[in-house]
């Protein structure tokens, strides 16, 4: 199995950006986004599934900062420990799969819209390894979603449904289990 590194966001999300992230709209009401996740495997096969992302709250700078510091000083293990007891920020559902709680949600202003970075502390689904229903692999314990939406709530993004998180100097690097980019298209705000 090949695992390739991918960066979240438009390029690399630096820890400094995470530390300065703050809600743009104060405590906004609940938002629900729908999208289609699409992946094309190296062998030419492709697949897609509907995705529903529910955001109940966006983390404040004061809440996100200790989590980022834990990750920066102790890696994914320290981040996981720091997430214990942190209230969920929403949920994600891929296809007919289970609803998975999100544990870290931040947003930043970008080009007349918002970039939302959403992290789960468990994988959403394992794709790849040349087999349907690919088996879990140790270390791929997170799900990472980035969606960029305009003022109307439409946009696109990416999802790493089973990922490991690493720090490369000051950049958060996401290694996805499948080794393929899973794109989120037709992102739209449902409510």
Instruction: Please state the three-class secondary structure of 80-132 as a single string.
Output: HHHHCCCCCCEEEEECCCCEEEECEEEEEEECCEEEEEEEECCCCCCCCCCCC
Chain-centroid distance, C-alpha 34: 14
What's the pLDDT at 89? Answer: 96
- The model carries a pTM of 0.79
> Phi/psi of residue 7, each to 5°?
-105, 150
Per-residue confidence (pLDDT) for residue 188, from 0 to 100: 96
Here the tokens at position 166 are 């690493």
How high is the pLDDT of residue 57?
Answer: 95
**Domains in the chain: how many in total?**
1
Q: What is the pLDDT of residue 132?
A: 52
Q: Would you tell me how many other CB atoms lie within 10 Å of the CB of residue 16?
A: 11
Report pLDDT for 32: 96
Segments of the chain with pLDDT less than 50? 1-26, 129-130
Residue 12, pLDDT score: 32
- Give how far the C-alpha of residue 183 lies from the chain's centroid of Cα atoms, to the nearest Å: 12
pLDDT at 171: 65
CA distance 41 to 47: 8
Domain range enclosing 163: 5-189
């Amino acid at each position: 199995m090949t695992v390739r590194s991918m960066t979240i966001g438009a390029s690399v999300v630096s820890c400094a950006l995470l530390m300065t992230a703050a809600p743009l709209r104060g405590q906004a009401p609940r938002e629900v986004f729908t999208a289609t996740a699409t992946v094309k495997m190296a062998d030419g096969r492709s697949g897609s599934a509907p995705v529903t992302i529910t955001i109940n709250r966006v983390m404040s700078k004061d809440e996100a900062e200790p989590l980022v510091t834990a990750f920066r000083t102790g890696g994914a293990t320290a981040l996981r420990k720091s997430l214990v007891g942190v209230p969920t920020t929403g949920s994600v559902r891929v296809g007919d799969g289970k609803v998975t709680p999100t544990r870290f949600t931040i947003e930043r202003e970008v080009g007349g819209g918002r970039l939302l970075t959403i992290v789960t502390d468990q994988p959403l689904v394992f794709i790849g390894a040349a087999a349907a229903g690919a088996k879990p692999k140790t270390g791929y314990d997170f799900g990472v979603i980035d969606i960029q939406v305009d003022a109307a709530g439409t946009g696109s993004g990416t999802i790493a449904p089973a990922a490991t998180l690493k720090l490369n100097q000051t950049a958060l690097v996401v290694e996805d289990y499948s080794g393929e980019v899973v794109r989120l298209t037709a992102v739209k705000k449902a409510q």
